[in-house]
Amino acid sequence: MKALVTGANGFVGSHLVDALVARGDDVTCIVRPTSDLTWLDTQSVAIVHGDVTNADALAAAVAGVDVVFHLAAMLRGRDYAAYYRVNAEGARNVAQACRRSADGPPRLVYCSSQAAAGPSVDGRRRTEGDAPAPVSDYGRSKLEGERAVAEVAEGAFPHVALRPPAVYGPRDTDILIYFRMISRGIAPFVGDGRQAFDLMYVADLVSAFLMVATNPDAVGSVYYVNDDAEHTWRSMAADIGRVLGRRALPLPIPLPAIAVVARVAEFAAAARGVAPVIHRQKVTEFRQAAWQCDSSRIREELGFKSEYDVEHGMRETARWYRDQGWL
């Protein structure tokens, strides 16, 4: 199989590239000229410099491939316009490049996000049949990306979207911060720590990508994916503490305090012309009772099965962090 991966140098993208190369697939990675290629074996893949906002670069990269995995996205933006340009218009550009491919359109696998759908509905897990209700600019832009792909692809070429939750594993720098805090004996969490959410180990998400890339029953669908387990801030802290062999002191952080920090962070980021790491929309996400989805559809229709429970996944993540000297 000839595959093109956008966002190939990122956390999830680099793991997907590794899996494709291991299978013997012919892989092309489209990356910006300034991208950090640390996690890419550049001897095993073709590197094309481009950007999802550049239609010409995409057209050349898509030519002759069987599957396009579109993972490139803006995770932190200064405003909705910035998110929209990359996450929505970027997805439209990729879809149009697929549709116009002179060698025949490839299948397009779009990495959306649970944020595109929004938090749980009425205390139950969200399903694909629920109307999306994103609560952040990031989520809204990813939903627009889904819609752009479906609109461009309709009747012209096969496409499928996955909505993963929070993903963790080797190379992830976000959950690393939490590992480091717990290794030092502190386990901070939001509010009372009982907010429920979904998790997924990166290798399982990669397996889902590979499954929908070739399964004919996946075409035209949107799927939730997760590890099919229950998680809260408290339980995640306990899970990480267990694999680290460290009992950490719980440190509840009240939401009003986080809201104050978010306002200050926004002000400081605006003064520097950068995107804030913590902001008021993140506080809105924290205020939701639960971020849980029902992944039974992909399991029943395609036979997907997550291979890593949280203990296995966290243990592998901790081992990798230690091997790299990150922990």
User: What are the pLDDT digits (tens) for 280-298?
Assistant: 888 899 899 999 999 999 9
Enumerate the H helices of the chain as residue ranges.
11-22, 55-62, 80-83, 89-99, 137-153, 174-183, 202-214, 233-244, 255-272, 280-287, 296-302, 310-324
- 79 or 315, higher pLDDT: 315
pLDDT score recorded for residue 261 = 85
Q: What is the pLDDT of residues 201-260, one digit of tens each?
A: 999 999 999 999 999 999 999 999 999 999 999 999 999 999 999 989 999 999 898 888
User: According to the model, what pLDDT value does residue 14 have?
Assistant: 97
- Overall average pLDDT of the 263-285 stretch: 83
CA-based angle 306:312:318, to the nearest 5? 130
Give yes or no for residue 271 having a pLDDT over 90. Answer: no
Domains delineated in the chain? 2-169+197-228+291-308 (3.40.50.720)
Mind listing the pLDDT tens digit for each residue in 53-106? 888 889 889 999 999 999 999 998 888 999 999 999 999 999 999 999 988 899
CA distance 281 to 80: 11
Q: Give the angle 152-158-162 at the CA atoms, nearest 5°.
A: 90
Q: So what's the pLDDT on residue 272?
A: 81
Tokens 């720590």 locate to 193
Mean pLDDT of 126-132: 96
Given this model, what pLDDT does residue 76 score? 86
Rg (CA), the chain: 19
| Tens-digit pLDDT profile for residues 10-62 | 999 999 999 999 999 999 999 999 999 999 988 899 999 988 988 888 988 99
Q: pTM of this prediction?
A: 0.95
Indicate whether 270 pLDDT > 90.
no
Rounded to 10 degrees, the C-alpha dihedral 199/243/182/135 comes to 0
Query: Is 180 in a helix, a strand, or coil?
Result: helix
pLDDT at res. 40: 94
What positions carry a catalytic annotation?
A: 138
Distance CA 239, CA 107 (A): 38
Q: Give pLDDT, residue 102.
A: 82
Given a contact cutoff of 8 angstroms between Cβ atoms, the answer to whether 204 and 227 are in contact is yes
- pLDDT tens for residues 167-199? 999 999 999 999 999 999 999 988 899 999 999
> 298, 314, 63, 24: which is closest to 162 by C-alpha?
298
Identify the pLDDT of residue 198: 97
